[in-house]
Chain A
Amino acid sequence: MEIIRTEKLEKIYQDNGVPVKALDDVDLTINTGDYVVIAGPSGSGKTTLLNLIGALDKPTSGKIFFESEDISKKTKKELSEIRLNKLGFIFQAYNLIPVLTAIENIEFSMMLLGVPEKERTERALAIMDELEIKELADKRPNEMSGGQQQRVAVARAIVNNPTIVLADEPTANLDSKTGSNLLDLMEQMNKEKNITFVFSSHDKQVIERAKRLIILKDGRIE
């Protein structure tokens, strides 16, 4: 089943008044259960594409369909709703909320959705158990290693059962062993729970595990 489809997607940035084309004529479809890696050299447009399909940015031209609905013209508030209800994000720098503990970070997005406190805690503990990070529940981000933080970030991204999880260079700040363990985990989630993952990465081990690889070069799909 189709989750995301882009049509002639174009994104142009202004760099000191000079237009720079970050994406050019990108047509892409992502289906349920996909495990897609968008790869390409630096500046190829990977992150720009991820931001557009993640409802964080709007295209200069072209269309993005999320579950068959065109989101390219939606307001900031509407995009925020989509992100909250349908998307999970995993960032390169983990980006957990530093003043919250691991379990509070995981509960946070559920809180935004209005999930009752008791249910939030139960679901957060269950996902932490699954990801083998239950012992980190009361630790704050600065008390955890990079790998542990990224596992918490994965838990935060999937706890609301999103339609799709977008991971921007998730292994870039991790050593290869930790990165590999994290990828094992996400692969397992994809297989067992049919969670759709879209990665942007130029990490070899991420690319090697891709079920589907999209190569970007100068803003175009090769």
Chain B
Amino acid sequence: MILKIAWRNIGRNKRRSIIVLGSVVAGVIALIFMDTFMNGMMYQMLFNRVSTNISHIQIHKKGFHNNKVVKDFIPGYQSAESKIKTVKGINSVSKRVIAFGLISSATSSSGVYIYGVNPEEEKSVSIIDESLKDGEYLSGGSREIMLGQKLADKLNVSLGDKVVAMSNQIDGSIGSEVFRVVGIFKTSSSEFERTYIYIPAADAQRMLNVNDKIYEFAVITDNYENVDQIKERLITELPADFEVLTYKDLLPTLIIQMDYYKETVLIVIMIVGLALIFGIINTMLMSVFERINEFGVLMAIGMKNRKIFGMIVTEAFIIGIIGTIVGLVISMVIQWRLASVGLDLSMFSESLNSFGVGAVIYPRLDIENLLLSVISIPVITVIGALYPAYKAVKLEPVYAIRYV
């Protein structure tokens, strides 16, 4: 019957209950939206980096990641490739010839990372072929080059224009090749657009004078969350002078950012919760003051303080539960819509690009955080009702009965 009274009391002052319910619903929506938005943004940052050039796992000769020198090619890469392809969980592998060099046009020049790739292999580990803004993807023909829009702007080149790429060779001399621009790509990272160029692997090997040597295996696994286990397997399979790095090793700052964000979810819930608590306290206090006389009667007929306390807290809990369910349903509709069309933040595209996010954010649901929000809000409403409930049980029956 306590539950019945609590339930009916909610319907007593509909306007007030709707206001509290509204604040709970708004709190739930705000929490879930903020979480899915941030989660989506983080995931996009990771996805964009991983799917352009980082990939899930990179394999080099030991030391190459920190110091990209021409002499550190992968020794005996053919047998290594066969071993890599036998490891369970690996979906695709691309061999890359990587060097730091200079690219020059008729008007300008810029320092770049030169990626010599087998076009078909590279497509299986990267979305660079889907990022083309103008022109074509590498066909496999000689002396083709793809570069980013920012770099093209800097060099003042467009499709069909010639550029010269040069880099150190093993013996210290400078190798150079002339290329014709066949494609211009645009990505969510302005940094990537400015500093990476793609050429055929054979051209890169010729320029570096390294015959058929390669410098990197870029690996895509069947699940990016399993990279640590696959890394362990690769380490046991490959010779000791190889380095196996996951995207977590390669993007430590981003991973820290993502971990940090997970930690801050609790803080955000606390901030939203605090605002909600004061709203609940205010409304429940109004509700208590409106019913002082009634509490007096309940006390007079022998209702124990703990039951009166429980009744008020139950009212808030019911509001919390209903508000959470309504908020959750609305959030799911918003999420369902935004997850497919995304949230267009073109007006901030410059700054978002500098973070490697992209102008359209696709909110992403994290079940763990969702559960945290869904559990926290009813608890918060109960906390908000504690003080009003305390005030109610502290009433003197004699005073309360006479209260008008």
Residues of chain A having any CB pair with chain B under 8 Å = 51, 54, 56-57, 76-77, 80-81, 83-85, 87, 89, 91, 93, 95, 97-100, 104, 107-109, 111-112, 156
Whole-angstrom distance between the alpha carbons of A98 and B298 in the complex?
12
Q: Could you list 12 A-B pairs, sorted by A, with CB under 8 Å?
A: A54-B300, A56-B398, A56-B401, A57-B396, A80-B302, A80-B305, A95-B294, A97-B294, A99-B8, A99-B9, A100-B8, A104-B1
- Whether the Cβ atoms of A112 and B398 lie closer than 8 Å is no
Of A76, A77, A112, which one neighbours B301 at CB under 8 angstroms?
A: A112
Given A56-B401, A84-B301, A97-B5, CB of A112 within 8 Å of CB of B307: yes
Residues of A within 8 A of B391 (CB): none
Quote the shortest CB–CB distance from B202 to chain A (angstroms): 84
For residue B397, which residue of chain A has the nearest CB? A56
User: What 7 pairs between A and B have smallest CB-CB spacing?
Assistant: A84-B302, A99-B8, A83-B302, A95-B297, A57-B398, A56-B397, A111-B1
- The residue in chain A whose Cβ has the minimal distance to the Cβ of B396 is A57
Kindly state whether residue B337 has any CB partner on chain A within 8 Å.
no
B293 to chain A: which residues have CB within 8 Å? 93, 95
Additional A-B contact list (12), CB under 8 Å, known A91-B297, A91-B300:
A56-B398, A57-B396, A80-B303, A80-B304, A81-B302, A87-B302, A89-B300, A95-B294, A95-B401, A97-B294, A99-B5, A99-B12
Cβ of A97 to closest chain B Cβ, rounded Å: 7
B117 at the interface (CB under 8 A from A): no
A89 and B12 contacting across the interface, CB-CB below 8 Å: no
Closest to B296 in A: A95
Whether the Cβ atoms of B8 and A109 lie closer than 8 Å is: no
Kindly state whether residue B389 has any CB partner on chain A within 8 Å: no
Q: Complex: how many Å from CA A98 to CA B293?
A: 11
User: CB-CB < 8 A to B398: which residues of A?
Assistant: 51, 56-57
Closest to A52 in B: B398
Interchain nearest-CB distance for A104 vs B (Å): 7
Contact B1 A109 (CB under 8 A): no
- B401:A91 contact, CB within 8 angstroms: yes
- B29 part of interface (Cβ distance < 8 Å): no
- Report the minimal beta-carbon distance from B311 to chain A, rounded to whole angstroms: 11
Chain B residues lying within 8 Å of A56, measured Cβ to Cβ, are 299-300, 397-398, 401
Which residues of the partner chain A approach B302 to less than 8 Å between Cβ atoms?
Answer: 80-81, 83-85, 87, 109, 112
**Interface contact A89-B301, CB-CB below 8 Å:** yes
